[in-house]
């Protein structure tokens, strides 16, 4: 339903007041109640961020965290009307404005992103799975991945260690988050670059494992037997974890 211009202006004015604290140029029947709106709306945003980023919340001193959320509340024009998506905009806001530098928390962008990913994967729309069978040959059939996943790279291992420890371990970390088809929980795997390479090949659903092994040896210059043994173990584990669902038909 489209609002009248006047209603829209009043709403915008009230919203601006809630964010900035500058009194709105609109007639108010109970001016003493106005600050309560501001308090309540801010608390919703604060609480949303607290729930979305529990690790960040516990690792950033209370006043700093509240200030950060307040900066976001004040300066960011939210693009989404859906409250559950607001944490992603918070991550973007923090990342784009380099708060990790100003707060001297280099892990911050990675941590917020990592914590957001769980929400994103959990709420992602269902994706149709490629037709597959459960019996097949690991090496000569094309493997079918569970399509409800997100593969990403972090600079700090915030998915393994508390932030202060992760800060000392800057490197390239590869992680896959996926939605388990049975219980719909989001699960995480920490991967090496080799596993990441193999998973990216599997995503294309064009190559058999034998082809992928040849590519991998060419790129990583690894002993073939060692590679076959290790990759078989890895892929069988992915079957158990339901990240690989079967063999393409």
Please identify, using beta-carbon distances, which residue of 38 and 187 lies nearer to another protein: 187
Nearest to 34 by CA among 16, 8, 9, 48: 16
CA gap 191, 174 in Å, rounded: 5
Nearest to 248 by CA among 198, 200, 202: 202
- 116: tokens are 């957001």
DSSP class per residue in 201-212: HHHTT--BHHHH
CA gap 229, 97 in Å, rounded: 46
* 159: contact with another protein by CB under 8 A: yes
Determine the Cα angle at 21 with ends 39 and 45, to 5°: 40
Please identify, using beta-carbon distances, which residue of 59 and 208 lies nearer to another protein: 59
Residues 116-155 that bind another protein (CB under 8 A): 118, 122, 124-125, 127-128, 147, 149-153
* 21: contact with another protein by CB under 8 A: no
Q: Judged by CB under 8 A, which of 93, 196, 208, 213 binds another protein?
A: 196
Q: Judged by CB under 8 A, which of 18, 69, 189, 235 binds another protein?
A: 189
* 239: contact with another protein by CB under 8 A: no
- 74: tokens are 């004040």
Q: Looking at 15-23, 27-35, 37-45, 215-223, which segment touches another protein (CB under 8 A)?
A: 215-223
Which residue(s) pair with 149 in the sheet? 178
Q: Which residues bind another protein (CB under 8 A)?
A: 54-55, 58-59, 118, 122, 124-125, 127-128, 147, 149-153, 158-162, 164-165, 172, 174, 180, 185-197, 200, 203-205, 219-223, 226, 230, 234, 237, 241
């Amino acid at each position: 339903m489209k609002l009248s211009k006047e209603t829209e202006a009043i709403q915008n004015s009230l919203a601006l007041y809630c964010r900035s604290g500058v009194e709105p140029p609109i007639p108010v029947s109970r001016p003493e109640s106005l600050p309560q709106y501001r308090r309540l709306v801010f608390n919703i945003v604060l609480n949303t961020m607290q729930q979305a980023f529990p690790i960040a919340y516990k690792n950033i001193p209370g006043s700093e965290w509240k200030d950060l959320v307040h900066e976001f509340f004040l300066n960011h024009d939210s693009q989404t009307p859906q409250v559950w998506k607001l944490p992603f905009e918070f991550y973007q806001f923090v990342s784009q404005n380099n708060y990790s530098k100003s707060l001297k928390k280099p892990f911050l962008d990675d941590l917020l992103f990592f914590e957001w990913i769980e929400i994103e994967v959990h709420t992602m729309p269902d994706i149709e799975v490629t037709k597959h069978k459960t019996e097949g040959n690991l090496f000569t059939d094309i493997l079918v991945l569970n399509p409800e996943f997100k593969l990403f790279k972090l600079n700090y291992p915030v998915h393994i260690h508390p932030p202060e420890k992760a800060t000392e371990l800057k490197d390239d970390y590869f992680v896959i988050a996926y939605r388990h088809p049975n219980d719909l929980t989001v699960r995480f795997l920490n991967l090496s670059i080799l596993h990441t390479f193999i998973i990216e090949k599997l995503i294309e659903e064009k190559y058999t494992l034998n082809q992928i092994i040849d590519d991998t040896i060419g790129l990583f210059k690894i002993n073939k037997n060692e590679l076959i043994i290790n990759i078989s173990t890895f892929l069988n584990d992915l079957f158990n974890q339901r990240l690989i669902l079967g063999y393409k038909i």
